Amino acid sequence: MGKIIECVPNFSEGRNKEVIDAIAQAIASVEGCSLLDVDPGMSTNRTVYTFVGSPESVVEGALNGARCAMQLIDMTRHHGEHKRLGALDVCPFIPVQGATMDDCVQCAKMFGERAALELGIPVYLYGYASNKDYRKTVPQIRAGEYEGLSEKIKKEEWKPDYGPVEFLPTWGATIAGARKFLIAYNINILGTKEQAHRLALNLRAQGRGPDQPGRLAEVQGMGWYLDEANLAQVSLNLLDYHQTNIHTAFEECVKDAKDLKLAVCGSQIVGLVPLGAMLLAADHFIENENLFILCEDQKIRLVIERLGLSSVTPFDPKTRIIEYLVDSTEDGPLVSLPLRQFIYSLGSRSSAPGGGSASAAMAAMGVALATMVGWLSYGNKKFESLDSQMRCLIPPLRQAMLDFIPMIDADTKAFSGFMEAKKLPKGTPEEEKVREKALQDGLRNAVQVPLLVIRTATKVWNPMVELAKVGNVNSKSDLQVGARSLETAVWGAFYNVKINLNDITDETFTKQVLEEAHSSLETAQEKCKEILNILDKRKS
């Protein structure tokens, strides 16, 4: 997987559509940049752009946006609710997939160096890119804002990391850095700006000062008034959603608002949000309300409703959740094929896809049938007494079904790695040694996927046995097909493990894997037989 980094530059213009669109076009025109979101704010007079790409492309995208802004934004005329230091106010780089925080630090430094050289602007580093504790956060660097920068920049301790040590009236300064995924989260209050700010002071980590810290870790916040929506907002930056997630911030705000006799009417996510944050919130509501929801799209709907995320502007998961926008999260080529084409691929004059992919597909279908029987036994008045059991049996079956799906492509991909190793040159002893190691590694990888199919199947035999005992008897033939399919899938995976082990020279590895595969195969045969016997005897 290539490295994917997110860049979320905040430009100090949220009212002039021509300027906003021009900056967006400048970013999107860079090859390798995918512009995911443009979120302007009238009251804040600020626009948040979100785009992803390789390390090199996101740096170029940010620079291109800055080049455009330099021609179109004049900070001497800028006013808005949001604090700011410059035309391109903040430019963070965030790891998304295959990238590390170190990669993002290098992006921030590369951006700072080039922006100073090519545009002649002062750049401060923050977050993981900064090694100065007193200027590591955006609020620290932004203190005094644009209006105070002309004096601040002259002080030795506030010398920029890159660029001129002078005040540029039309630009100000830019803050670039590397950070974890920040969620810009606003909670709507039917009150005044001052009341919203009072709530923000209660919640944000800094609180009212060293003697009066706030309650929520890794949270920044302030209150403002949103003229276009005619309401106040508690505006929060959640710096680490694993420590303070959106549902926690919302519920804590609601609690304090009640004490002030203020109404909370939904909330708003500015820009994009990680899928993990939405699912954490969903799990919280599901557990607290004793709900039974497994489908991801239903979990997302629950969070949108409980937090009122569409109260200011519509929240469309397809365009607001970052994982749904990043191409690398799409299904593999085999899984994406129509069933007819997948079967044609299996029947073509090619060794891949082969038995391993077919086994994973059969396993997925077998457990899918069991999951279906579980659902047909749940939420029906006739089988109401089974609801508590189904709440326990359906989740592991459904999860196994989801887990098997990517194995369809993974098996073919692993086998392709072995075939590529066979093409390596072997004309010299050194080349022969490299090729042999690559072949052994390829065989080990080829073993891992069918072995994972076997292990995943082993986890669900007991839930299938319990389902056979109590599930909707009208669907017993579906469960019979499901059990047979899963057993056949284990056999198929076993054969794939065994044939690849023949050429692996590590005898200890071979012995361990073969013992595990034999044991799991015996379990599959026993459990399948048990399920079929139970179902054969059931009349009701």
Q: Which of 256, 403, 409, 411 is catalytic?
A: 411
* Pure H helices in 29-100: 55-72
- 478 classed as catalytic: no
Strand 123-127 and strand 174-178: the pairing is: parallel
The residues facing 268 across adjacent strands are: 186
DSSP 208-257: TBTTB--SSTTEEEEEEEEGGGTEEEEEEEES-TTTS-HHHHHHHHHHHH
Residue 164: which residues within 8 A CB-CB, separation 6 or more?
116, 120, 121, 122
Q: How far apart are CA 127 and CA 252, in angstroms?
A: 26
CA distances from 291 to 288, 300, 302, 325, 377 (A): 8, 14, 10, 28, 17
Q: How far apart are CA 73 and CA 12, in angstroms?
A: 8
Query: Quick check: 7 and 91 in contact, CB under 8 A?
Result: yes
Q: How far apart are CA 382 and CA 317, in angstroms?
A: 36
Report the candidate in 56, 75, 95, 55 with the shortest Cα–Cα distance to residue 11: 75
- 283 classed as catalytic: no
Q: How far apart are CA 238 and CA 465, in angstroms?
A: 45
Report the candidate in 324, 402, 406 with the shortest Cα–Cα distance to residue 96: 324
Strand 46-53 and strand 88-97: the pairing is: unpaired
Q: Which of 82, 103, 240, 283 is catalytic?
A: 82
Q: How many residues does the chain have?
A: 540
CB hemisphere CA count around 280 (13 angstroms): 15
Tokens representing 83 are 């604090």
Q: How far apart are CA 474 and CA 491, in angstroms?
A: 28
Tokens representing 519 are 């044991």
Positions marked catalytic:
82, 411
